[in-house]
Structure 1
Amino acid sequence: MLSGIIDGLTGANKHARLKGTVVLMRKNVLDLNDFGATVVDSISEFLGKGVTCQLISSTLVDANNGNRGRVGAEANLEQWLTSLPSLTTGESKFGVTFDWEVEKLGVPGAVVVKNNHAAEFFLKTITLDDVPGRGAVTFVANSWVYPAGKYRYNRVFFSNDTYLPSQMPAALKPYRDDELRNLRGDDQQGPYQEHDRVYRYDVYNDLGEPDGGNPRPILGGSADHPYPRRCRTGRKPTKTDPNSESRLSLVEQIYVPRDERFGHLKMSDFLGYSIKAITQGIIPAVRTYVDTTPGEFDSFQDIINLYEGGIKLPKIQALEDMRKLFPLQLVKDLLPAGGDYLLKLPIPQIIQEDKNAWRTDEEFAREVLAGVNPMVITRLTEFPPKSTLDPSKYGDHTSTITAEHIEKNLEGLTVQQALDGNRLYILDHHDRFMPFLIDVNFGQYPYAGYLPNRPTVSRRRMPEPGSKEYEELERDPERGFIHTITSQIQTIIGISLIEILSKHSSDEVYLGQRDTPEWTSDARALAAFKRFSDALVKIEGKVVGENRDPQLRNRNGPAEFPYMLLYPNTSDHSGAAAGLTAKGIPNSISI
């Protein structure tokens, strides 16, 4: 004891310990913490178990362990018991102290994490505060760590250093090779469980049911059908065809690596949005079968009644701020927003200011140029129209339209005469937009949530003069149009669905943002990303500025709904764009 005090005073033990911080999120159900798992975890802690971490050297190898990086002693998380779980779905922060002497063990480049609890947890980061000669070292995980008994290997997380494969530290290469083999599933045949971490492609060989007499061709992996591909699940082959994989029942979940599933906040948002959309649609759905024309709208006012009527909630900023401060995300999502009507669908932005503006030619034309599916109106210079896109990348877009198809509508002109007289125009989006996007998902509800503005179905042909439908259209154009487009129950289902798909989650990461600030230690990469983010923020200002320019008629129209679909929302770090905001480009490939 005396020698330890002397060493502490003289600095002899100065670098034998490294202090760090572990940030994780405990398992939860919806957005409530799993108290049952927390109790079991606490008992495990009393029994001497817990969460342990071991540092791995990136600079010094162990000759007795296959020249792998040297491994330090296990260190337990500190204060697991005293860090009580809260009702909110937040992060828990724990201290950790490693017995590690840099002169003997080198600079840490990886860490082994073992979970000896009964439930999994989501590990975000591990940060070493002050490594001699290096400074802070961060290990970015963002991964679910299951109980150690679920794995056949150790969970290893690497520091945020970046390098080419040829520059990989020799001490870390064996660990990197092991990790690659685990992710490929080389030692796991399946069927895979949610804790498995297998990222490997497979062909679509589960579309049919050979055992039931309904085989289907295999898609992918052949000269005729090299694609598509799917994530391997490791399910057993069928009895009658060893090349086909058995299918799951409807109640079973298909394997998706846990780290690729919705996060806890996004799942809470999705469930909340879904429950809210269903409850909002129940009453209108029931009413469809008790009015004089079951299953049909009879007027535009019938459709407006999906959004209005009853109790309108006041739009008071103080109440909205209070709603945002509510601790439970699922409950927060279920609470109606100010300005909406209780138990009604949200009012789409396209009819918020003017319920009839969508019907004007000016607004229709504006949405063609700057709506959910933007197009370009161009003068046709050759016929049939040709695409300039590379067919090997984007497919064959050669037009099959012939002169016979259109000359009957050219008022006696030939196609060539119409071209020479600058009389032919084309609505086109392929060459300009197809390489970049097909649809802007987060604008679907603001524009198409009011179905007459963007009908999904035409149930009847154009009425012929003298027909019953033609007489109805002459007598009551509004009713005739409504009975042509989507039916009442299909409308309610469709609107509810696109409401869910058009909403941003509360933890959305937008283009130009990162969920972890310490995503890399490379100063050049951080500086480049900062320039990219700053450029996007400037674009935000440009979008807002152009929306204010009255001469840019494509930016604002009679509906008074400015074009914000490609507004990056990079500057928003508070989640203000969550829900139906019709703006924000997610840093994601999914809806």
Structure 2
Amino acid sequence: MLNPSLHATLNQSSPLHLCSLPWRPAPPAEVKPISLFSPAAPSSFCRRKVARRRTGSGGIKCGAAEADEAVVSVTKKRTPTKVKAVATVKLAVGGIFSHVGITRGLDDIADVLGRSLYLELLSTELDAGKLSELAETGLEKKATGNYAHRARLGGDKEEGKYESEIEIEYDFGEIGAVLVTNEHHKEIYLKDIVIHTIDRSDNHEAKALTVHCHSWVHSKFDNKEKRIFFATKSYLPSETPSGLRRYREKELALLRGDGTGERKTFERIYDYDVYNDLGDPDADADKARPILGGSKELPYPRRCRTGRDRTKKVRIGTDPLSEKRGGSFYIPRDEAFSEVKNQQFSTKTLRSVLHALVPSINSALVDKRLGFPYFTAIDSLFNEGISLPSESVGSFFRSFIPRLIKVISEVDDVLLRFEIPEMMDSMTLNLTLKFNLISFQFCVDDASYLPSETPSGLRRYREKELALLRGDGTGERKTFERIYDYDVYNDLGDPDADADKARPILGGSKELPYPRRCRTGRDRTKKVRIGTDPLSEKRGGSFYIPRDEAFSEVKNQQFSTKTLRSVLHALVPSINSALVDKRLGFPYFTAIDSLFNEGISLPSESVGSFFRSFIPRLIKVISEVDDVLLRFEIPEMMDRDKFSWFRDEEFSRQTLAGVNPLCIQLIREFPIVSKLDPDIYGPAESGITKEHIEREIKGIMTVEEALKEKKLFILDYHDVFLPFVHKVRQLENTTLYASRTVFFLTPDDTLRPIFIELTRPKSPSTPQWRRVFSHCWDATGTWLWRLARAHVGAHDSGFHQLVSHWLRTHSAAEPYIIAANRQLSALHPIYRLLHPHFRFTMEINALAREYLISAGGIIEVSFSPERYSMELSSAAYDQLWRFDMEALPADLVRRGMAVEDPSAEHGLRLTIKDYPYAADGLLVWSAIKQWVTDYVSHYYSGGAAAVSDDNELQAWWSEIRNVGHGDKKDEPWWPELDTPESLIGVLTTIIWTVSGHHAAVNFGQYHYAGYFPNRPTVTRINLPVEEGEPVERLNRFLTKPESVLLESFPSQIQATVVMSVLDILSCHSPDEEYLGGEPEPAWAADPTLRAAFVRFSGRMKEIEGIIDGRNADMNLKNRCGAGIVPYELFKPFSDAGVTGKGVPNSISI
């Protein structure tokens, strides 16, 4: 929370007024001192500056002046005076100007000569006309400026200073802006400009104001236009000081550009284009992609225009206006990542994952279709990793991706590797943890006789043989004997060797009953310990067994007593030396699994060649290993409960508290009916019938009663997926269904999945196929349910990434950012409200177009729709996206997850009270809305007229609707921006989208999807029971269902690539700016806004505590319980890294 005592002394926002000199001695009696901010005496100055941690882009629109000294007096003295302007430049890595060559030398000379940076001050006023003989009535006052020379660098090696002395006229007025000309040959990053008075005639301290820049300033050799940085105070267009109006309009015109030419990296032009750069037909005909946006068939939001050349080749289904993908993806210069972000998690890091790590995975995993042969192979990604060829990965990875990359060296040890037991191989997933009883049946070919039926010639021999086998119960047994006799378990201890090894006798007593063992007749122990029996046997020598019970010679050769002894006498000590901590248990089930798949590394000197000869099943030798190891952090969900992903209750819980809790909706009508054309896709009515539901809920209520009591919910991926099913099925190594999953709400507010319906639409040659699956109690039905649930998981993963995440946050927000920079001046209060919420988004979106959603990108190769992924995203935009429904309350009401209730908190009553996404999200939404309400009320006190008459605001909103989201410009649901209330609604929705909404769908990705069986991104094969599937697949399913499930999951390459990317995307940067964290300079300089922000910041901290309390409430079963990951995605603040919490201001990763 902001410190009220610190900020209470800040004076009101107003640029330093230089028509008079507050540092002069007291004026003559006839001239009274005037305070612009308060009636305080001239000696009342604020000396504390607003703390500001910001290294990101902000452009000139962060330009602000901060009045550190507040009091200004008026005098009749009319002589010019001087002020000192100090510009702070952020140093690039490698020095102030790290470029080399001729231009470096020229820039150094310019610095020495003091002609590298030119600063000019602009007045807010026009000339008064009649007050001065030199005045030109009605014209802008002439800018006054001077060159700044580079000062000596102080202790801060990250910043450089440029100082300038500027002479100003006595009637100059308030400083409204600073013009900057960069005469270097390279751009510079300008942090701020501090302007203060120079007065050596008395003892008054210099008074200063700060103009915040946080922007890249282009070289005049690239662009002759000067950069302008406005002062702190915000103005509605109608209130703009006359001296700044022309500059305000000109700056907006420059930012809009003229819509022609290819954009240069140093430019700051914001313009629109369709998504015509996802394909690459010039490189590969198979990479041609249709244009998204600009058509009724494929509507889509607009992106930032780059103006690159058109592709040479035009493929079927593409547009002749497709752009080439060569070169860099332009984004306006101030939208780029900060240096801190570049160093910690920058384009460099993401590109390294996509450019170097992904090819390395491809080279390590040669077969692109290779799946995981068993679940322990999946576990090994977290415990042992993937060995990557060291020559393919340099030291860069070790520095920039420490979470993923580990280095193994000097490995030439012996590996103990256990064969997978047949029971585990075939029944790994019998996670009910019950034992299956197996009966053995022995068949004998020889004739058998009851005693009474024994032939007379054999009776005596029969009886004698039995007597010999019984023995007389005396003496120690010899190895050649075949005597079967009984004894108690009196040979488990060894008190003669160690008192601590004394053990009681099992059997022969009421206290310790036990079955008997075979008698050996060995000598008794010499020492009798407390709790042992004097009849305990010694353990020396061999353990007798009747001779015919010993292993056969064949068995001795393969697995003999000799081998077993070697394991016990030599191998176990080797294991003990390898595993130093004898008390260390298995921290997770995967550690046990790794015994079978990866083994334990044993010191080679402790195990001789004997092992390699006699235990080939156990001992493998590793040599010549000096590779880089890709090792994944264990996701929190898996770390808390390895088997949670396998349970129906967790599957249901994640629809309310997982990474995609935005799609569950109430069923309000029954039967469930598709809106698609039945003539094209088949019958519209769902196969889930009333009888199905009433049977599954055991007659507790009728379907009509369940609808009335709001007990039925659905995850509906039917209509959006069905049109793509046949197209996707023509691709290799993937498949697709349309799906519906129905849930029943239990009395404790948890959901239970009761039905999954998978549908294949009809085609010219085949009828529609669909099947309804339910949780069964028979093995076949249970495994089919698990397969069906895996397909739903892939549907949910695809929809989450393409719609809930990319479309509804990243893509939808880009037009807001472009329009704001084109239509809202840096002086506009709404721009200053929104600007921190747009930080870094455009660069992240450009990276996505370059690597993630492009043809052949990560999305296409890793998700079920593959090359049709973005077309599916377009279909969702067409069918589902509405700006008015992007507000959290409206979205909840639309999905039936809440109803409006003025008496309830936030004005909504949740349908499912324990709905963590909604419950916590509404806390954040309400806090944002209150902050926005306070802010808008401060500037639009004039009511509806003030909003309607704001030409910049209206142009911004019109451009969002008609250009940025032009494919939906004629929709009737667009809000009219005509009152303060409608403006508050629009702004709250935008801020929520880029902060709360994005945090909810992004920062939990690795926790929930890092273990991909929980959220597979693709299912690669059809269900074995689908009509027309080969009999061999069904037989394989019946023989080993686990193998079919694993075959359905992503391949090793698909899984590891997605896991690598999710790890990066879920990570917070060290310089992250969080919701309610720090105020913008313009807010901190205004007492009313400062107080409002203090309340907002305080509320965000309260929300942290509320969420912690909810996560500890055992009555809230969807967020608290055994092995459950607490729902923390709306906790506002976070440390750097993958934390599963933190709500940044913007779409930032």
TM-score (norm 1): 0.75
Amino acid aligned to 1:359? F
Deviates more, 1:170-179 or 1:189-198: 189-198
Work out which of the residue numbers 456, 460, 469 in structure 1 matches 2:1021.
460
State whether residues 18 and 128 of structure 1, in contact with CA within 8 Å, keep that contact through their aligned partners in structure 2.
Answer: yes
Farther off after superposition, 545-554 or 276-285: 276-285
Contact 1:219 / 1:226 at 8 angstroms: preserved in 2? yes
Who is 2:98 aligned against? Answer: 34
1:126 equivalent in structure 2: 193
Alignment correspondent of 2:332: 257
Structure-2 residue corresponding to 1:112: 179
Aligned-partner Cα distance in 2 for 1:358–1:216: 36
Matched, 1:275 2:833: no
1:403-482 aligned within 5 A: 404-406=687-689, 409-410=692-693, 418-422=702-706, 425-427=712-714, 431=895, 432=897, 437=997, 440-464=1001-1025, 467-482=1031-1046
Residue pairs, 1:331-350, within 5 angstroms: 333-336=400-403, 343-350=630-637
**Which region of structure 1 is more displaced relative to structure 2, 267-276 or 159-168?**
267-276
Which residue of 116, 124, 132 maps to 1:50?
116
Map 1:75-86; keep pairs closer than 5 Å.
75-79=147-151, 81-82=152-153, 86=157
Does residue 229 of the first structure (1) align with residue 302 of the second (2)?
A: yes
Task: Identify which of 1100, 1106, 1116 aligns with 1:542.
Answer: 1106
- Whether 1:167 aligns to 2:731 is no
CA distance in 1 between counterparts of 2:689 and 2:364 reads: 45
Q: Does 1:16 align with 2:93?
A: no
Provide closer, same or farther for how the CA distance between residues 217 and 420 of structure 1 changes in structure 2, counting only shifts above 3 A: closer
Higher relative contact order, chain-length normalized (CA < 8 Å, sep 6+): 2
Could you say what the CA RMSD is over the residues aligned between the two structures, in angstroms?
Answer: 4.7
Partner of 2:1142: 584
CA deviations 1:298-319 (Å, max 9, x no partner) are: 22211111121389xxxxxxxx
User: Once structures 1 and 2 are overlaid, which stretch shifts more, 333-342 or 167-176?
Assistant: 333-342
Q: Check the 8 A contact 1:277/1:500 in 2, yes or no.
A: no
After TM superposition, the structure 1 = structure 2 runs for residues 25-424 of structure 1, keeping only pairs within 5 Å, are: 25-28=90-93, 34=98, 36=100, 41-61=107-127, 67-79=139-151, 81-82=152-153, 86=157, 90-101=158-169, 103-129=170-196, 136-186=208-258, 189-203=260-274, 228-235=301-308, 248-268=323-343, 269-270=345-346, 271-272=348-349, 275=352, 285-286=362-363, 288-289=365-366, 295-309=370-384, 333-336=400-403, 343-374=630-661, 380-384=667-671, 402=685, 404-406=687-689, 409-410=692-693, 418-422=702-706
The answer on whether the counterparts of 1:340 and 1:347 sit within 8 Å (CA) in structure 2 is no
Could you tell me how far apart the structure 2 residues matched to 1:336 and 1:139 are?
A: 40
C-alpha distance in 2 between matches for 1:65 and 1:454: 71
What does the per-residue CA deviation read over 1:409-429, in whole Å, with 9 as the maximum and x for residues that have no partner? Answer: 4477999x9423528621357
Give the counterpart letter for 1:112 in structure 2: L
2:1001 maps to a residue whose letter is V
- The answer as to whether partners of 1:277 and 1:345 remain within 8 angstroms in 2 is no
Counterpart amino acid of residue 365 in structure 1: S
Q: Is the 8 A contact 1:459 1:486 kept in 2?
A: yes
For structure 2, which runs of at least 5 residues remain unmatched after alignment? 1-22, 27-76, 129-134, 200-205, 387-395, 409-628, 675-682, 716-891, 898-917, 922-988
Q: How many residues end up aligned between the 2 structures?
A: 536
Contact 2:89 2:161 in 1 (8 A): yes
Aligned to 2:122, the other structure's residue is in SS state strand
Distance 1:344 1:583 in 2: 23
Matched-pair contact (CA < 8 Å) for 1:375–1:427: no
Q: Which moved more, 1:8-17 or 1:293-302?
A: 8-17
* AA partner of residue 199 (structure 1): Y
CA distance in 2, matches of 1:205, 1:277: 22
Letter in 1 for 2:1023: M
Q: Is the 1:284–1:306 Cα contact (8 Å) retained in structure 2?
A: no
Three-state SS of the structure 2 residue aligned to 1:493 is helix
The answer for the alignment partner of 1:495 in structure 2 is: 1059
Cα separation, partners in 2 of 1:223 and 1:470, compared to 1, 3 Å: closer
Could you tell me how far 1:407 is from its partner in structure 2? 5.2
Mapped to 2, the partners of 1:209 and 1:308 lie a distance apart of: 39
Q: Say if 2:233 and 2:1082, in contact at 8 Å, map to a contact too.
A: no
Preserved contact between residue 52 and residue 77 of structure 1 (Cα < 8 Å): no
SS at match of 2:1138: coil
| Partner Cα distance (1:427, 1:135) in 2 | 65
Deviations 1:444-500 (A, max 9, x none): 111101101111112223333995444544544443322111111111111112222
Query: Is the alpha carbon distance of 1:306 and 1:340 closer, same or farther for their aligned partners in structure 2, counting shifts above 3 Å?
Result: farther
Mapped to 2, the partners of 1:238 and 1:249 lie a distance apart of 5
Match of 2:828 in 1: none
Label 1:553 to 1:482 Cα distance change in 2 as closer, same or farther (>3 A): same
For the residue of structure 2 that corresponds to 1:148, the secondary structure is coil
Equivalent-residue separation in structure 2 for 1:386 and 1:61 (angstroms): 72
Higher percent of residues as helix: 2
* Aligned 8 A contact 2:1067 2:1139 in 1: yes
Structure 1 range deviating more: 169-178 or 91-100? 91-100
Partners in 1 of 2:687 and 2:705 — Cα distance?
19
Q: Which moved more, 1:52-61 or 1:173-182?
A: 52-61
Instruction: Give yes or no for contact 2:146–2:165 (8 Å, CA) kept in 1.
Output: no
**Bigger shift: 521-530 or 471-480?**
471-480
Q: Is the 8 A contact 2:119 2:146 kept in 1?
A: yes
- For the Cα contact (< 8 Å) 1:202–1:230, is it kept in 2? yes
* Percent of aligned pairs with the same amino acid: 34
| Aligned 8 A contact 1:162 1:522 in 2 | no
For the structure 1 residues 162 and 348, does the alpha-carbon distance in structure 2 shift closer, same or farther, using more than 3 Å as the test?
same
Change (3 A) 1:386 1:568: farther
In structure 2, relative to structure 1, the CA distance for the partners of 1:379 and 1:146 (3 Å cut) is closer
- Return the alpha-carbon distance in structure 1 between the equivalents of residues 193 and 89 of structure 2: 9
Instruction: Give the letter aligned to residue 146 of structure 2.
Output: E
Distance 1:300 1:64, change over 3 A: farther
1:402 counterpart letter in structure 2: E
1:505–1:33 distance in 2 versus 1, CA, 3 Å? farther
Distance in 2 of aligned mates of 1:448 and 1:198: 38
- SS of aligned partner of 2:124: strand
Partner of 2:1077: 513
Match of 2:738 in 1: none
Q: Cα gap change, 1:408/1:196 in structure 2, threshold over 3 Å: closer, same or farther?
A: same
1:315: which partner in 2?
none
Instruction: Find the aligned partners of 1:15 and 1:46 in 2 and give their Cα distance.
Output: 28
> Which stretch of the first structure deviates more once superposed, 296-305 or 506-515?
506-515
